Amino acid sequence: MPTPPAAQARPVVDPRTGRRADGGPEPDRLALLTRLQGEFASAVADVAPDALVPACGDWRAAELVRHLAGVHHWAAGMAVGDPSRDEDLPAPDGGAAVLPALYARHAAALRGTLEEAGPDGAAQTLLGDGPASFWWRRQLHETLVHLHDLHAARLGSGPAALAAVDVPAEVWADGVDEVVTVFQPRQVRLGRMASLADRLRVVASDLGWTWTLGDSASSADDRVDATLTAPAQRLDLLLWGRLTPAEAGAVVKGDLDAAQRVLAEPLVP
């Protein structure tokens, strides 16, 4: 049986900026976003437009492509602090045949906007005013999860698509961090869910990095009701509702009911 990795300190990322807050090296998120957008654009033609996207309700692949194009369009406006650009993306003429070009156009526009704004450009973020670097991180993870969705539609299931997206475990773990530090607290602030009554520690087994979902009366209180462990990729996709705990190969120790209650909450939009 392989020896698990020794626990190591995970990077500390400021949720408001999307940048390291611990003095560590910044990953080149814009370069990775560019790569993932290219992979998404290339995969569009290989997926039937009416293919069902697993774990996304009744979404079809064509809707997924339009959605990500629209999110890129919206995020580009937010990244330069221009909410007037936050408009619904019009449905393209020509049906599914125009989807690759539609996506490529908005992906390129987003990249150009982020490059021009630079990481320090004034932006509107999901947490209020902040730097454009927030969107470098946010759009990377938006694209990463939806690239998995697109391959899942092509292959017929989320687990089947796990090998189709090749990025380091640290990238997936950064997605876990975004869920824990940005989205779950934001869901509470927006009234989409109540504060978590249970505390769930989540562990990326391939990195030894840990996070805790759930509020505590004291920051010094390290009590948890349960611990859930899975590789970083599967952990991120589990928190985004793309995999079940069984599909993620997650191991739960402690109060199984508490873990299930946490995972049943709308932790992400």
Tokens of 81: 């602090």
Q: What is the pTM of this model?
A: 0.93
**Strand ranges for the chain from DSSP E:** 13-14, 19-20, 122-125, 128-131, 200-204, 209-213, 226-230, 251-254
Give span(s): CATH 3.30.1050.10, the chain: 169-269
Q: Which residues are within 8 A (CB) of 35 and not within 5 positions of it... i.e. 6 or more apart?
A: none
SS3 state of residue 146: helix
Q: What share of the chain is helix, strand, coil (3-state, %, to 5)?
A: 50, 10, 40
Q: 10 Å Cβ neighbour count for 117?
A: 20
Instruction: Assign domain 169-269 to its CATH superfamily.
Output: SCP2 sterol-binding domain (3.30.1050.10)
DSSP letter, residue 92:
P
Range 188-196 contact pairs with CB under 8 angstroms and sequence separation of 24 or more: 192/266, 192/269, 193/265, 193/266, 193/267, 196/262, 196/265
Q: Are strands 200-204 and 128-131 parallel, antiparallel or unpaired?
A: unpaired
Instruction: Assign domain 22-167 to its CATH superfamily.
Output: dinb family like domain (1.20.120.450)
User: Taking the CA atoms of the chain, what radius of gyration do you get in angstroms?
Assistant: 19
Using an 8 Å Cβ cutoff, are 79 and 121 in contact? yes
Using an 8 Å Cβ cutoff, are 205 and 179 in contact? no
pLDDT (tens digit, 0 to 9) for every residue of the chain, 269 residues total? 444 445 568 999 999 999 999 999 999 999 999 999 999 999 999 999 999 999 999 999 999 999 999 999 999 999 999 876 655 555 555 567 789 999 999 999 999 999 999 999 999 999 999 999 999 999 999 999 999 999 999 999 999 999 999 999 999 999 999 999 999 999 999 999 999 999 999 999 999 999 999 975 444 567 899 999 999 999 999 999 999 999 999 999 999 999 999 999 999 99
Residue 222 confidence (pLDDT): 77
Tokens of 85: 């650009």
Give span(s): CATH 1.20.120.450, the chain: 22-167
